[in-house]
Amino acid sequence: MTKPLRTRAWDAITSLKLTIACLSFLMVLVVLCTLAQVELGTFGAVNKYIKSFLVWWDVPGTLWMIPVLPGGALVGLVLAVNLVAAQGRRLELSWKKSGLWIIHAGLILLIAGEFVSSVFQVESQMAIEEGQTLNYIEGRDLELAVMDVTDPAFDEVYSIPDSRLARGGTIAVPGTPVSFQVKAYYRNAELAPRGPQDPPSPADRGVGASVAVRPMPPVSRDDQVNQTAAFVEAVAGGRSYGTWLASNVLGAPQSFVHEGRTYVLALRPRRQYLPYAVTLKKFSHDVYAGTDIPKNFSSLVHLSNPSRGERRDVLIYMNQPLRYDGKAFYQASFGKNDTLSILQVVENPGWLLPYISCVLVTLGLLVHFTITMRRSARRRQGAQEA
């Protein structure tokens, strides 16, 4: 007699074979992800193998993509379901099994934590020079910032994400009469002064007219940055204000005036403004005497939050981040002859989960192995007495 389909599915979901299959797939994915980091960089490899539901293979020479493996997210999900289901079905609630219960609860929490991080974790940077005060952090992605600088007391900043630029078409900037028509977008490009044999630039205004833009493949290494370039035509009130070149490697501000209001254009790392300000008072970089082995990096910053009436100095150094207002500021890098400090800023609502899970699993493993060891010791003793 064959079992009904529901029973068979339930058997499959709760089976130990599925657990082993998931763990094996996870091993394969982890190996592939590690090897791929040489080519794709950490972010690329993790996105391809771990933070995906399916791993796609581009068939060479065609536009086809074939899923070849389940991705880390799918495996993680199946493993979590398997864990919960098997736990409910097979393991009786007894002291003998208490260790396994704790271990598996901890593991579920660990997988959940990884999901929470991959969805909600935001990593940004704050590159701050000595004496400088900043009230924003910058992300990895870019934005086309349109700033209305007419009022000398404050700027109004409108932001268009570069993923929107990549899609092309016409983009209206809400709250302003301005809209942009994307003429071209290059995720990575080489910018050079335009020579006599270069084709004419699509840009007819600003610095872009004298720059030649050559498309390049996007960079993969984590320490490299894409030089993104976009040609956009600014339109306001039915009138064209010319085509501009925007790029994160262009330094000079470019602006146009429409009905008495001045708009500045800049393609820059996406900014998130903070309700508080950070001033870098001093960056220190010590080395061991007679060597160039770094001994310590530290940033002495002043934190000022008028809305909470908070003003205090904080020393951020290796293994000692500043956790404030849901964000954590870490000493990440430095530059400009030790006057520039780069802080990594991470916001992860699930940061506490792995800590709890670690304690649970460790405790569970200890309990379980103690129970099994005592049992086997008793058995051995019994065998000797017999």
Partner 1 sequence: MNVAKTASWIAGGLALAGTLAALAPPGKVRGFDVDGFARLPVLEGGRVKPIDSVARNTLLMIRSQQSFRHEGRTIGAEEWLLDVLFRPEVANAQPVFVINDPEVLGLIGLRQTSDRYFSFRTLAPHLGEIERQSQAAHPIDAKERTRFQSAIVNLFERVYLYYRLENTLQLAGSPGLAAELRDPRAEGAQERHRALSELSYFRPLPPPAGQAGDAWRSVGEALRAGTAGNVDPALDPLARLSRAYASRDPAGFNAAVADLGAVYASRRPEAVKQADHETVFNRAQPFYAGMVIYVLALLALFASWLWKPQILQPAAFGLLVAGALVHTGGLVSRVILQGRPPVTNLYSSAVFVGWVAVILGVVLERLYRRGFGTAVAAASGFASLIVAHHLTGDGDTMEMMRAVLDSNFWLATHVVTITIGYSGTFLAGAIAIGYTFRRQFAPRLDPATSKALVSMAYGVICFALLFSFVGTVLGGIWADQSWGRFWGWDPKENGALLIVLWNAIILHARWGGYAREKGIMAMAIFGNVITSLSWFGVNMLGVGLHSYGFMDKAFWALFGFIASQLLLMALCLLPRQFWRPASSRAGEEATGTV
Contact residues for partner 1 (CB under 8 A)?
Answer: 16-17, 19-20, 23-24, 26-27, 30-31, 33-35, 37-38, 42, 45-46, 50, 110, 113-114, 117, 121, 123, 287-291, 293-297, 318-321, 328, 330, 332, 344-346, 348, 351, 354-355, 357-358, 361-362, 365-366, 369, 372-373, 376
Minimum CB distance to partner 1 smaller for 228 or for 357: 357
The two three-digit tokens of residue 152, written as one number: 């000398």
Cα–Cα dist 5/26, whole Å = 28
Cα–Cα dist 218/140, whole Å = 14
CB under 8 A, 24+ apart: contacts of 366-372: 366/99, 367/98, 367/99, 367/102, 368/98, 368/99, 368/100, 368/103, 369/99, 370/99, 371/95, 371/96, 371/98, 371/99
CB of 25 to partner 1, least distance (A): 10
CB of 358 to partner 1, least distance (A): 4
Minimum CB distance to partner 1 smaller for 218 or for 354: 354
Minimum CB distance to partner 1 smaller for 7 or for 376: 376
CB of 298 to partner 1, least distance (A): 9
CB atoms within 10 A of CB 49: 24
Minimum CB distance to partner 1 smaller for 208 or for 321: 321
Minimum CB distance to partner 1 smaller for 150 or for 372: 372
Cβ–Cβ under 8 Å, residues 125 and 134: no
Minimum CB distance to partner 1 smaller for 3 or for 295: 295
Nearest to 164 by CA among 138, 144, 139: 144
Minimum CB distance to partner 1 smaller for 86 or for 147: 86
CB of 315 to partner 1, least distance (A): 14
CB of 289 to partner 1, least distance (A): 4
Q: Who contacts 275 (Cβ-Cβ below 8 Å, separation ≥6)?
A: 305, 307, 325
CA dihedral 294, 295, 300, 301 (to 10 degrees): 50
CB of 118 to partner 1, least distance (A): 10
CB of 351 to partner 1, least distance (A): 6
CA dihedral 367, 371, 372, 378 (to 10 degrees): 160
CB atoms within 10 A of CB 72: 24
Question: E strand or H helix at 353, and its extent?
Answer: helix 353-385
Cβ–Cβ under 8 Å, residues 138 and 123: no
Question: E strand or H helix at 12, and its extent?
Answer: helix 5-14
CB of 327 to partner 1, least distance (A): 9
**Mind giving me the DSSP string for 68-132?**
EEE-HHHHHHHHHHHHHHHHHHH--SSGGGHHHHHHHHHHHHHHHHHHHHHHH-EEEEEEEETT-
CB of 17 to partner 1, least distance (A): 7
CB of 331 to partner 1, least distance (A): 8
Minimum CB distance to partner 1 smaller for 157 or for 342: 342
Minimum CB distance to partner 1 smaller for 42 or for 188: 42
Cα–Cα dist 215/231, whole Å = 13
The two three-digit tokens of residue 327, written as one number: 């964000």
Secondary structure (3-state) at 15: coil
Cα–Cα dist 115/138, whole Å = 24
